[in-house]
Amino acid sequence: MECSINNQQDDYPLGEELISLLEKVLQEAAAMEGVGPGTEVGLTLVDDAAIQDLNRTYRGIDAPTDVLSFALEETGPGEPAFVDPGVDRLLGDIVVAVPTAARQAQNYGHSLARELAFLTVHGFLHLLGYDHGTEEEAARMEARQEAILARMGLER
């Protein structure tokens, strides 16, 4: 899978090692979900103001959030919620707010790297059609997130 990672924030310096980890996390998530090698995904790291603007524009919520996913294959009412991961295509974009991730990492007592990896995987699974609108959906998504992070040695 081809990953494009773009750091558009200056609040937190992110070294090559951390950017490389995020790419590896995306590659592992893709492998575990059976995503084809010709698939593409974008990850953009932003500040709180940028994600607040996106959240307001696309979700009608005028507040920062931690992660947003913009799938190119949105499903509508009555359509299956899970797209075929084996088909080569551009999945979409994941946007992560680094300052929010840093606050959450501190609150949860783990590293910024672990929180950014978690949010990246969370956003990636949304691109594949996972959701957490019901308890059952949330449990399924959480299990996949934790399995992927565990494979990368990023358990809680």
Q: Are 41 and 94 in contact (CB under 8 A)?
A: yes
Q: Is 110 annotated as a binding residue?
A: no
Provide the residue count of the chain: 156
Q: How far apart are CA 99 and CA 91, in angstroms?
A: 25
At 68, which helix (H) or strand (E)? strand 67-71
Q: Is 126 annotated as a binding residue?
A: yes
Q: Is 122 annotated as a binding residue?
A: yes
Q: Of 85, 66, 67, which Cα lies nearest the Cα of 129?
A: 85
Q: Of 75, 55, 73, which Cα lies nearest the Cα of 63?
A: 55
* One-letter identity of residue 53: D
* Structure tokens given for 97: 């707010």
- Range list of H helices, 15-134: 16-32, 48-59, 98-108, 112-127
Residue ranges for the binding site for Zn(2+)?
Answer: 122, 126, 132
- Which positions make up the binding site? 122, 126, 132
